[in-house]
Structure 1
Amino acid sequence: MEVYTTENEQVDVLRRFFAENGKALAVGVVLGIIALGGWRYWQSHQDKAMAEASASFQQATNAMAAGDGKTQNISELEKFAQSNNNNYGVFAALQLADHFIDAKDFANADKQLTQALSQTKDENLLSLVNFRLARVQIQENQLDQALKTLDNVKGSGWTAMQQSVRGDALLAKGDTKGASDAYSKGLAANPDQTLQSLLRMKLNNLSS
């Protein structure tokens, strides 16, 4: 390491450094400022877009609730779900899926939930969507697909519910032992009292 014994030597070294590298440093500083400004603009734009999406989502869901499922209001919520590639689009798709499930229109419920899977990276939301989609696929008698969909339900908090639905799919396929194992795994996950009672009832029905 070089040692500079006088202040004048240190100053000369700094002068030579900036003479040789000053342009590159200036460019770096300017690029840094531009990047920071761009990040702040992007962040501000994102915040504004999410606020607008929130307001639009509330308006669309209120219109659907007030319209009691009228075709026009459903169509408006569908357009919102398709055009918002964010969590609000997922929430809209989930609400639409619930509406279609109530109407026994499982094909459209499947469509909404499948679309929602591409609109978020949030693991909890993805697990929720996959869980609901698997239940719809069972109603559509797409049993093997439902089992595959359940593999995408992640997180220990989902274990009991996931195994409950997995057991239902296996039972519908005629795999009584597989269903029993799934229900037992669900119980072993120590779910809340309501789900425990449901799983025990399903197990009892298998042995009756």
Structure 2
Amino acid sequence: MAYDLQEQEQIDSMKAFWQQWGKLIGGAVLAISVAYLGYKGYGYYQAAQASKAAVVFADVEQAAQTQDVAKLKSAAALLQSDYAATAYAADAALLAAKVAFEKNDLATAQTQLSWVVQNVKDEAMVAVAHLRLATIQLDQKHYDAAIAELGQAHPSAFDALFLDLKGDVHAAKGDKAAARDAYKAALAKLVGESPNRQFIQTKLDALGG
């Protein structure tokens, strides 16, 4: 097929363009394709991991219902080792800690809660773990350790809970002045008619002065 001069110039220009940039463009397209496939593949992997973790978590829930601490520890350990990136691992640790505490297995409760503090990125879950660790330390009369736990960083939404428990620790320690200050600070953090307001106020009134 014969081309006129203008068409031939356009063809020559396109050839020159692809000779100069073709490899670069081809490489970029390949890189984008690989990245996209990698992203999709990771998404499928995450979904598969979550599905497998859900099966293990069902064992955790069943063990919690029967108060089987040994089975809870085993299932929670599996989630923490093989599916640590899933929310199920954190949920299992908190649930295992709760049951262990109720069964007076404080060592197991502390181990599970410490795992949450050290491995979970969700700030709310970590705050809950700090509160429960402080409760265990209060129960063991490790007052300074409990106060240190309650001094850890946490979302502002948890301020009242942290201050309330700090008041409990000071009260148990016999430091009424510090307990009053903590309860007053907790009340100041509560918004509106919080159901905790009357409870904290009762504890503050009981201190007298």
Q: Scaled by the length of structure 1, what TM-score is found?
A: 0.83
Structure 1 residue ranges without an equivalent (≥5): 1-5
- The whole-number CA distance in structure 2 between the counterparts of 1:172 and 1:9 is 91
Which AA in structure 2 matches 1:200?
Q
**Which segment drifts farther, 40-49 or 173-182?**
173-182
Aligned partners of 2:117 and 2:194: how far apart in 1? 30
Residues 133-183 of structure 1 deviation map (CA, whole Å, 9 limit, x = unaligned) = 221122233323322322335223212111101112233344322211110
Q: TM-score w.r.t. structure 2 length?
A: 0.83
Amino acid at match of 2:75: L
CA distance in 1, matches of 2:60, 2:103: 19
Q: What RMSD in Å do the two structures reach over aligned CA positions? A: 2.5
1:1-208 aligned within 5 A:
14-65=14-65, 68-70=66-68, 72-83=70-81, 84-85=83-84, 86-152=86-152, 154-190=154-190, 192-207=193-208
Q: CA deviation at 1:113?
A: 0.3
Check whether the contact 1:131–1:153 (CA below 8 A) recurs between aligned residues: no
**Count of residue correspondences:** 201
Provide the rounded CA distance (Å) in 1 between the counterparts of 2:100 and 2:69: 12
Between the aligned partners of 2:167 and 2:7, the Cα distance in structure 1 is: 80
Structure 2 unmatched ranges of 5 or more: 1-5
CA distance in 1 between partners of 2:73 and 2:183 (Å): 39
Cα distance in structure 1, aligned partners of 2:41 and 2:71: 34
Task: Give secondary structure in 2 for the equivalent of 1:117.
Answer: helix
Identity of paired residues, percent?
A: 26
On the 8 A contact 1:81/1:89 being kept in 2, the answer is yes
SS where residue 118 of structure 2 aligns?
coil
